[in-house]
Structure 1
Amino acid sequence: MKHGKQELIAKAARTLFQQQGFTATKMTQIASAAGMTAANLYVYFDSKLAILSEVYRPWLRPQLATLSAEVRAQESAERRLRRLLVGCWRDIPGADANFANALIDALAQRHARTAPASAFLNEVEVAVGTPLRECIDMRDGPRGSRVDEAMLSRLIWMAFDGFVINQRLGDVRDVEAVASLIAALVLDAPLSAPLPRTGIGVAA
């Protein structure tokens, strides 16, 4: 029974987060949309951030899995890396009415003493790092890479936050150009023309 109630709360919260954002959504609104009192809501979740975590993880995981498949569908290391970067910096930030912005909004308010969600962050970095490693491994030239893949994966995901905010502001003008520049630098390759625009779920 508790699991069913949690799903009901998560579904109601996701709709509100998408419509209003994290900050504007109140626990009382979530409770009302889920058909319960606010006091009852706290039986299942101790905070709004906990509800967002319950919603955000199952949303992000398939986004990353789909992007990984699209990256592997590209025929060269350079195109793979650009697809990975554009997916992380344009497509996922813009998916589902810029839903990723809810997390950025939430983290900006999180108390400094709140324990970080390191397990999920590690999971994300692995999800990004695996196709990244494949891009680097298949590149032309010597295999003695000077690129620290783990650090680059972390940097890509740190930049994700900024691109999410840019999406929220409607500024996506430089994503393709930045992705092309980073791919050229990492792979020691010439700059290429931007990839055709695609969305998550459509291979370039």
Structure 2
Amino acid sequence: MIAIDPLTNTERDNYKLLVGTIIPRPIAFVTTVSEEGVLNGAPFSYFNIVSSNPPMISLSIQHSAGKPKDTARNILDTKEFVVHIVDRQNVEQVNMTAAPLAPDQSEISLAGLTPVDSSVIAVPGVREAKVRMECRLEQAVEFPGFELIIGKVVQFHIDEAIYDQGRIDPVQLAAVSRLAGNNYAAIGEIFTIERPV
């Protein structure tokens, strides 16, 4: 084993160790609306479940060039956002939204995604996702260099093709996950291990 002290590493070295070992990471495609009314969209792989009762998710949004990204700023301003699960069919379009655009430009338009109204919140989602979660900001913790966002899911939208009696079919969902660099992973072998009683 190689022992590495993160204090002796650069931020980039620690980043490479984290994203290379904590894999696969689910990808949240997040839509927000700016105070000026611009529909923003961006992918984040620092994303996970926080709680099921109430249903809550987390996003860690790193700063860009020393400033909060449009997504974090919009969430802090409006207290609303939509999280979409990235799948094999929409990953190319979602990847396009990672382009560094000015705040007054919409990544949704750039990627050719189709806005769709939400049911409970004002922020639209996109039609191309099989799963959309309308969220309200539950808590934001601001750290030097990033914001940790906790959102409460106030409405689920699930494609009928992946939904069966309250469960999601992982093969039909075809979610993709983030690895390191430019690499992604699709659902591969699925195996079952019974929990001990």
TM-score using structure 2 length: 0.26
Q: Which has the higher contact order (CA 8 A, sep 6+)?
A: 1
Q: Which has the larger radius of gyration?
A: 1
TM-score using structure 1 length: 0.25
Q: Which has the higher strand share?
A: 2
